[in-house]
Structure formats: C-alpha cells, structure tokens
Structure 1
Amino acid sequence: MQTDAYSLILEAIDSGVYRPGDRLVESELAERFGVSRTPVREALQRLETQSMLARDGRSLIVASLDHNQLAELYVVRAELEALAARLAARHATPEEVKVLGDMVTEDHAYLNDPEALSRANRRFHKQIHLASHNRYLVQQLDLVHRSMALLATTSLAAEGRGETALAEHQAIVDAIGAGDGEAAQAALRAHISKAFETRLKLDAGGVQAGARPRG
C-alpha cells in the first residue's frame, strides 16, 4: 500500500492538483485517496527524502525550485535527453520511429491547450527514452522528469512556443529515423536549451504565461 499511496500523491503533484508551496496534510490525503494514514505517512517521508517535499515548520509542503536548482536541472536534463536521442537513433525500431512521428502530427491538435500539450510533450519525451533501449538511462530520466513536476508553469504556455516546440520535435524524429545519432543528439539538446530559455523568460515575467502543468 505504501507504493500505491506514493504513486497517488506523486501523480497528484505531477498533474497539478498540488502545486509548489501547497501543504500536504496526512489525514486529508488519506481521506482523499481512500487509504489509511500509515502508508500515506510512509509515502510523505519517501517524497521528502527525494526532495519532492520540503519542511515548513512542522508541515510538509510541495517543494519548489530556485533559480540555481532550475539551471542545474536543465543541464542534467539536456545531457541525458541528448544521450537518449543518440541511442534511439542507433536502437529504435521502425515502429518506434513511426510512433514518434505520429505523436508529433497528432500533438498539433493541442496547440491551443498548453496543459494538454504539456502532457503530450511528456509522452513524446518518454517515448524517446524508451527508444534508447537503455534501462539505466530511462531510470535516471524518470528521476529528472519527476523533478520537472516542481515547476509551476509550462514553457509551452509561452506565446508561439508550442508550434516551434513541435517543429523541434519533428527535427528530432527525422534524425532518429535517419539513424543519425549526432544530429539527433544536437537537435534534442537545442530543443531543451530553447525550453530553458523560454522558462527563464516566463519566470522573469517577460513572456505571457498560461496554466499548468510543466513542459
């Protein structure tokens, strides 16, 4: 039951039910998810150990990332995602490449819905991780993307970012499909760099922002 409570709370954070700064109360969580308080308590302790939650006096709140943590996260994300793209160019099956291409095409339907586009964006990146066929890399990227849940807004909410992001996705898919590891790696690194740049502008209030979740 600990794993169930943990997964439920983590999903609630990831989907924006609980946002950075929100307090998590053991009894309320147990009632909300229909579980006893013991597995909830254990799940909260686990999430605190993973820095998903932080202490605010005696309370536990959803953690947030400061500027330095954000920069560090994007550095690691860019390197690991680029490696995943390079490996995907080497190991992805034709079926996996087709799924990636279909995702890009279908995701154009979400251009006016930043929240849905952000969810689609996570699915796309997850598919690249899986196409790398390296379980250890997938595990590390899961940790990185878990931390992305601590971002209050999505960079895809910036005006025009969704369309350019999908064009960047297509370039990544084209490189993977061509088996060009260097091009795939470069395209994905450039994509993450642009996302980071957009996020910095959002955080500085320089770009019109939309709603949750992250991207």
Structure 2
Amino acid sequence: MRDSRNGTGDAYGLILDAIDSGIYRPGDRLVESELADRFGVSRTPIREALQRLETQSLLVRDGRSLIVASLGHNELAELYVVRAELEGLAARLAARHATLEEVRVLRAMVRDDAALVDDPAALSRSNRRFHRQIHLASHNRFLVRQLGLVHRSMALLATTSLAAQGRGQAALDEHDRIVAAIEASDADAADAALRAHISRAFETRLRLDAARDPEA
C-alpha cells in the first residue's frame, strides 16, 4: 500500500500544478470527488491536500465549499513587495555564491528563451524555472523555502504579465542583465537588476488589470 503521506504529497502537487497551469482559476470551486476522479487519487489524500492548500491561503471557503483564492489590488501589491525583497536578496547571494556551472545554466536559459517570445504561456513556465534557478544559486535553503511560498501564491494570478505586448522581449533583456551581474559577481548590480525586473512586471500587471472591463 502506498504511504498516505506520499499520496497526500502527490495530490497536493497535482492540484497546485493544475492551479498554476490555469486548469483551475481564481473563483473556481474544487470538489473533492471530482479531483479524485481527475487525478486518480483516493479522496483521503485529496481532502488532506485541500486542507493544506487552505492553510496556505491558496484556497478559501465559500460556505461549505473551497474555491481557488483570488488576489485583490492590495494583496497583489503586498505580494510584489515581498517578492522584490526576497528575489533581490536571492540575486545578491547568487552573485556571491553561484558556481560557474550555475551561471552557465542561467545564461543558456536566457539564450533558449529567445525562441519563446511569441508564446507567453511557454515563456511564463520557463520564466518560473529561471527564477527558481536563481533561488537555488543563492545557496540559502531558508530563502529558497520562503521564495517557494511566494511563488505558490503567484499561481493565483489568472494571467501572466508576459502576455502584454512587448513584455516578453523586455523581460528577456532584463534576465540578461541579471545574469550578467551574477556572472560578474556584482551583488549590488544583481540585486538592483532583479528588483527592477520585478517592478516592471508589477507595473505591467497593473496596466493589464486597469485595461480590463470593470464589469467583466
């Protein structure tokens, strides 16, 4: 018999991935039996995974049901403030501690992502991998853990800012500057470049939100 803890972990990851990939969007109701059928997992680990996601504020109660949480304007601003601080620190530490191999991987990611500029969904997935690589290059497990929580909350954003006109190429140019600073072991420049990158992403997202029909 499979360890129930592993089953819970599998169910948690499957639901989180489904939220992250847009299968379930903010406001969508998650039904235990439907999730069990979709993922081929028994209802007990699904139930435990839902409780864990609720504890992390990725799901909220709507009566007796659980729905995918959404982020209001103030929550979005708070999330980006924390993200800029932690990501900037990760870039600063990466500039000090990244190995030559890690820098080469980051450089290759920037180069390869040029082929994804016209595919916002694919570029968004690759963008997450790029940032994750910077987190790992910081060589600080506590920071990596906290950034994991922040990026899980980013899954609650229904759209990617990379879908904005011209944002994909601009983001890649910003990634290039971040990697250049890390490669040069310039901690201040890496921190500043990463913070500027997050700031521009936040501004783009605010523009996208402002352009939406308020009645939609």
Is TM > 0.5 for Structure 1 vs Structure 2? yes
Taking only the aligned residue pairs, the percentage that are identical comes to 78
In structure 2, how many angstroms separate the alpha carbons of the residues matched to 1:8 and 1:17? Answer: 11
Q: Would you say 1:152 and 2:158 are equivalent positions?
A: yes
Matched, 1:30 2:30: no
Alpha-carbon separation, structure 1, partners of 2:153 and 2:199: 17
Counterpart CA distance in 2 for 1:25 and 1:193 is 36
Kindly report which structure 2 residues correspond to 1:82-121, keeping only aligned pairs within 5 A, or say none: 82-121=88-127
Structure 1 residue 203 corresponds to structure 2 residue 198: no
Q: C-alpha separation between the residues in 1 aligned to 2:36 and 2:124? A: 28
SS in 2 for 1:112: coil
- Residue 4 of structure 1 deviates from its aligned partner by 1.2
Figure out how many residues of one structure are paired with residues of the other and give that number: 206
Aligned ranges 1:166-185 → 2 under 5 Å: 166-185=172-191
2:59 to 50, 53, 56: 53
State TM-score, norm by structure 2: 0.94
Name the CA distance, whole Å, in 2 between partners of 1:18 and 1:174.
37
Between 1:15-24 and 1:143-152, the stretch displaced more is 15-24
- Residue identity in the other structure for 1:202: L
Letter in 1 for 2:167: R
Structure 1 unmatched ranges of 5 or more? 207-215
Tell me the distance in 2 between the aligned counterparts of 1:8 and 1:102. Answer: 29
Q: Tell me which residue corresponds to 2:78.
A: 72
Distance in 1 between the 2:171 and 2:14 partners? 30
1:15-26 to structure 2, matched below 5 A, reads 15-26=21-32
C-alpha separation between the residues in 2 aligned to 1:3 and 1:117? 27
TM-score by length of 1: 0.95
Q: C-alpha separation between the residues in 1 aligned to 2:159 and 2:151?
A: 14
Q: Partners in 2 of 1:64 and 1:71 — Cα distance?
A: 13
Structure 2: unaligned runs, 5 residues or longer: 1-6
Secondary structure at the counterpart of residue 67 of structure 2 = strand
Distance across 2 between alignment mates of 1:99 and 1:49: 35
Structure 1 SS opposite 2:41? coil
